Amino acid sequence: MIPGRAEAAQQWQEQGYAIVDGLIPEADIDAAADDIARLYGGDTFDNYNQAKGFGDGSPEGKQFRASQFDGMRGFPFAGCPTLNALYVHPNLVAFARAALQDDDVRIYQAAAWGKWAGEINYEQPLHQDGNHSLLPPRMEPGFWHLETFLYLSDVDEDCAPPRLVPNPEATVPYNELYEHEIAATAKRGSLLAYRSDVWHRGSDFGRDDASRFVAVVAFRPASAEWFGYDAFPRLGGSGHWIEFVAGKTPDDLALFGIPRPGHLYWNAASVEAMGAKYPGLDMQPWIDALR
């Protein structure tokens, strides 16, 4: 186990957030630098959040603005295999399982988010996320979910760090919450994990030459079907998804709901059809399970 991961998981459970320093080696993050440059090298806005221009008319104050989300790209990313692999990195998945206290977890949101100084005012009001679940939050094993930002670049005080207020159970009037917020600064490869009932917000840059990149990854227990954001089945005919699946393991794909070998779905015909649909996927584990 990575030093500090168990303590960070417990902090997330009890205080609503944790910063896991160095969860993924910097070398693994740096290896994806060319992919990140390729992803943002052109006008590739994919309307991930369907932003429609709200709030962009006023540059002052803390508010949600559609252009704050222009740097979001939906997973998986074409021609970015090293970046895509970070979303199923074993260290990230192990932390999600530890935090959620569940070995069978699902990824229900995956995106990349780039921000650049001077593009827009990124200051947001403190808020809680109510758009990930059909139910009110119940932060207990089996019923909670995990939101994370994996830092793909170093984020210091001037690089638009997320800000949040720990201890969501504490009773503090909303207008006093800003007095208790902290800046979630960390080096690339670190993970900010937070709960949806934690007050948090985006902040703006403190210098005009800065940028910030994170991988947005959210997890839920496999049985907690009321959580959702991205509908990955819509990608079943996507070349980007076929590219991502190549070389992945059954455990990697189970994060997105693909049944593991031995599941009742699999028979000789469905295994053969799966191999034809995903020519880069090693079907041997599924074949062996049929025996």
DSSP string, 180-209: G-EE--B-TT-EEEE-TTSEEE---BSSTT
Predicted local confidence at residue 214, as pLDDT:
98
Q: Residue 56: pLDDT band by 50, 70, 90 thresholds? A: confident
Contact present, 18 and 4 (Cβ < 8 Å): no
Predicted local confidence at residue 95, as pLDDT:
98
Q: Which residue has 């800000």 as its token pair?
A: 163
In degrees, to the nearest 5, what angle opens at C-alpha 145 toward C-alphas 138 and 9? 105
Percent of the chain surpassing pLDDT 90: 84
Amino acid at 194: Y
- What is the rounded CA–CA span in Å between residue 162 and residue 242? 33
Least confident of 47-61, 71-85, 148-162: 47-61
pLDDT at residue 251 greater than cutoff 50: yes
pLDDT tens for 156-179 read 999 999 999 988 767 788 889 999
193-220 mean pLDDT: 96
Q: Is the whole-model pTM more than 0.85? A: yes
Predicted local confidence at residue 45, as pLDDT:
55
Predicted local confidence at residue 169, as pLDDT:
67
User: What domains are there in the chain, each with its CATH number?
Assistant: 5-227 (2.60.120.620), 234-291 (no CATH)
87-113 mean pLDDT: 97
CB atoms within 10 A of CB 210: 18
pLDDT tens for 106-144 read 999 999 999 999 999 999 999 999 999 999 989 999 999
More confident residue, 172 or 20: 20
Predicted local confidence at residue 55, as pLDDT:
83
